[in-house]
Chain A
Amino acid sequence: MNDAALNKPALSNPGSSQRRPQTGFNFVRFKKITQVGIKSIYSHGLRSLLTVLGIVIGVAAVIAMLAVSEGASFEAQQQFRDLGASNILLKSVKPAEVEESSNRGFGPPQAIVYGLTTADITAIRDSIPGITNVIASRIVKKNVWNLGYSINADVVGTAVDYPSSRNYNLRSGRFFSETEVRDHGNVVVLSDEVANALFPIDNPLGMTIKIDSDYYNIVGIMESEGFSNLGQNQAGSSNSASTRIFIPFTSSKSRFGETTTRQTAGGMERETVQLHEAIIQIDNQEAVIEIGEIIEQILKRRHKDVDYAIEVPLALLRQAEESALRDQIVAGAIAGISLLVGGIGIMNIMLASVTERTREIGIRRALGAKKKDIITQFLIEAVILSGVGGLIGVVLGIIIPFVISAVWGMTTIVTPMAPILAFSISALIGVVFGIYPSMRAADMDPVEALRHE
């Protein structure tokens, strides 16, 4: 036997003696197969587009919904930061049914007495270890004057630690000092908004404002942004949180007293509240929620009516996180269903494509394609299809949150992970739903496939 003739005769074109077929992974073959896949998808443009719609919607939904829930959780974090991670907020709340007169307190008999007392705070301080500081405040609604300008503001009588406890920043000047608190000083710190309302032109620092018949020196201006809206429904405060001004606690007590009178439709309404608000600072953030529960027990024992509210920012954050998680589960379910439908669509179209191209499969098999070559070809095509869908979905998924932010003013955040994750899932779907049609293509009998019309 002639070995030269039997062993594949080497192609002896001049200048290329190196023409040996390679084995293993072959980039050229991969590239060619990919090109064929792209051509095939391109030649059925509309069909391919409709096929990937499910994937597009699924991927866009994943990204958009993640962006929305990410935004919501960012907002919750923001609030949480404003309120302080290791704080518990106590507030006096006017009970739904109040007794007209009370034997407690020392106001006139008609006054409604409710809310937190200094005795409550002492009891809490005495029974719970780990409380580093309590900042009690009184909030009285007053008209504040600068000559002809006036604004209805919440006058907060508080301690020197107030700004630091709630992460409020001074814009200019200073907060009042311990000495001024001790001396019942007539000093005031304005919020930005109040300062602008009363001093539209001048620099308010060093000027005075008038509350009732007393004059107060302005020593500082606070930023308004830090004010949380969580303090809305508390006693004595119906204005938005940003129209607050701050005076020493002692000054509030001695100038305004503990009983306030308000003009109502039926006549005068008098109420006696010792403390409107107390910020309790805990040394250990881990224990905040637990301590909040203990405080609730203490207050329940001490108060006949529920004339107080307890806010634990950390608990609020947990709630927000829980609802964000719920959102994400819903989003995940919608996206999952959409991607499943998309995957089935791809499988369907791939099966159709395999049937249409039976002849081509036969030809390729006759010309030396192995089963795995055929599987690779159709699998690549399925992945290209789902990948293109995924890519369109990513683009839409990035645009949609912008639209949501612009139209509804919601905070949305597209993290880089979301598009990467969504795109990977879409490619994976191409593989998963492409396997069966590809195997069917590869398992065709070459003779039958060649005979196919």
Chain B
Amino acid sequence: MSESTVISEHSGTVLKPGVSSNTIVASLNDIRKTYYMGALSVEVLHGISLDFYHGDYISIMGPSGCGKSTLMNILGCLDQPTTGKYFLGDEDTSLMEDDELSSIRGARLGFIFQSYNLIQQLNVLENIEMPLFYQGYSETDSHEIAMGLVQRVGLEDRVDHKPFELSGGQQQRVAIARALAVDPLIILADEPTGNLDTKSGAEILNLFDELHQQGKTLIMVTHSDELAERSQRWVRLRDGLVESDERRSA
């Protein structure tokens, strides 16, 4: 339990483990997304409305081409909806300029990618520190936070290593630490175990469970039912619409 203790210190949340509050951290309101290719236009999302609560652990599932990735990009403020509103916290992101989107990504979101997406020239510690610098944290503070997170993901003996010197599971743990650095409102994970073997994948999922226990809000995209099994809520998409939205009964 020592690791969990550290997490709660870091997050400063006062929620009971495993229980989501009724505070809405993100809200999608009739989100539509149309891609234009010359004269051709394709609507990928046909009006999606979802509310995400603080402390939720959500799996977004569905077959390929259902709009998962597009939805994930919109949730991650990497892309904006064609129509509809997306509130992150109490801010309406659909009206934001590019710089504001960058700021909100850096301050409120944590990304975990299928292919880890660490920067190869930087070592473990520097990778974790990176989002903090874009937020303007001082060097000392960044270092302190990153060292804490490195310990939490169990890589304190690898701080000087470059990503290519680490295993896939270790790299993904660095990515998780990096996502936690700014203490985001939501952690977005896109097929986080897709490139990992079963054992490493299980370790990552255990880490997710721990984060959930600490009251973090996790949104995970996956098409694996096995992975989704761990979460508390399942949103299924089909053809750009919400097919089902279930919650684990208490």
* Interface, chain A (partner B; CB < 8 A): 1-2, 5-14, 16, 19, 21-23, 26, 28-29, 32, 36, 39-40, 43, 359-360, 362-373, 446-447, 450
Give every chain A residue within 8 A of B46 (Cβ-Cβ): none
Residue among A22, A362, A366 with the highest chain B CB neighbour number at 10 A: A366
Q: What residue of chain A has the Cβ atom nearest to residue B90's Cβ?
A: A6
Give every chain B residue within 8 A of A21 (Cβ-Cβ): 107, 135-137
Contact A368 B111 (CB under 8 A): no
Stretch from B21-29, B57-65, B222-230, B240-248 contacting the other chain: B21-29
Contact B148 A367 (CB under 8 A): no
Q: What residue of chain A has the Cβ atom nearest to residue B89's Cβ?
A: A6
Contact B105 A368 (CB under 8 A): yes
Pull 30 A–B residue pairs with CB atoms less than 8 Å apart, ordered by A. A1-B24, A5-B21, A5-B25, A5-B54, A8-B108, A8-B185, A9-B11, A11-B183, A13-B145, A14-B9, A19-B137, A21-B136, A26-B136, A28-B139, A36-B122, A363-B119, A364-B130, A366-B78, A366-B105, A367-B178, A368-B102, A368-B131, A369-B102, A369-B134, A370-B99, A370-B102, A370-B134, A373-B102, A447-B73, A450-B78
Distance from B129 Cβ to chain A, minimum over Cβ atoms (Å):
8
Distance from A84 Cβ to chain B, minimum over Cβ atoms (Å):
66
Distance from B9 Cβ to chain A, minimum over Cβ atoms (Å):
7
Q: Which 7 A-B pairs have the closest CB atoms?
A: A368-B106, A368-B134, A21-B136, A22-B136, A12-B12, A367-B131, A6-B89
Q: Is B165 an interface residue (CB 8 A)?
A: no
Give every chain A residue within 8 A of B182 (Cβ-Cβ): 8, 368
Beyond contacts A5-B23, A367-B106, A368-B107: 19 other A-B pairs, Cβ-Cβ < 8 A, are: A5-B25, A6-B185, A8-B107, A8-B183, A9-B183, A12-B9, A21-B136, A21-B137, A23-B136, A39-B121, A360-B119, A362-B117, A367-B130, A367-B134, A367-B178, A368-B135, A368-B182, A370-B98, A450-B117
Q: What residue of chain A has the Cβ atom nearest to residue B76's Cβ?
A: A366
Q: What residue of chain B has the Cβ atom nearest to residue A21's Cβ?
A: B136
* Interface, chain B (partner A; CB < 8 A): 9-13, 21, 23-25, 54, 73, 76, 78-79, 89-90, 98-99, 102-103, 105-108, 111, 113, 117-122, 130-131, 133-139, 141-142, 144-145, 148, 178, 182-183, 185
Contact A446 B119 (CB under 8 A): no
Distance from A111 Cβ to chain B, minimum over Cβ atoms (Å):
91
Q: How far is the CA of A43 from the CA of B111 in the complex (A)?
A: 28
Give every chain B residue within 8 A of A366 (Cβ-Cβ): 76, 78, 105, 111, 117
Q: What residue of chain A has the Cβ atom nearest to residue B138's Cβ?
A: A28
Give every chain A residue within 8 A of B148 (Cβ-Cβ): 13
Contact B54 A447 (CB under 8 A): no
Give every chain A residue within 8 A of B78 (Cβ-Cβ): 365-366, 446-447, 450
Contact B102 A371 (CB under 8 A): yes
Give every chain A residue within 8 A of B135 (Cβ-Cβ): 21, 368
Contact A11 B145 (CB under 8 A): yes
Contact A367 B105 (CB under 8 A): yes
Distance from A115 Cβ to chain B, minimum over Cβ atoms (Å):
81
Distance from A93 Cβ to chain B, minimum over Cβ atoms (Å):
75
Give every chain B residue within 8 A of A10 (Cβ-Cβ): 12
**A21-B137, A22-B136 given as contacts; is B106 within 8 A of A369 (CB)?**
yes
Distance from B181 Cβ to chain A, minimum over Cβ atoms (Å):
9
Give every chain B residue within 8 A of A16 (Cβ-Cβ): 141, 144
Give every chain A residue within 8 A of B103 (Cβ-Cβ): 368, 370
Q: How far is the CA of A28 from the CA of B122 in the complex (A)?
A: 16
Q: How far is the CA of A364 from the CA of B142 in the complex (A)?
A: 16
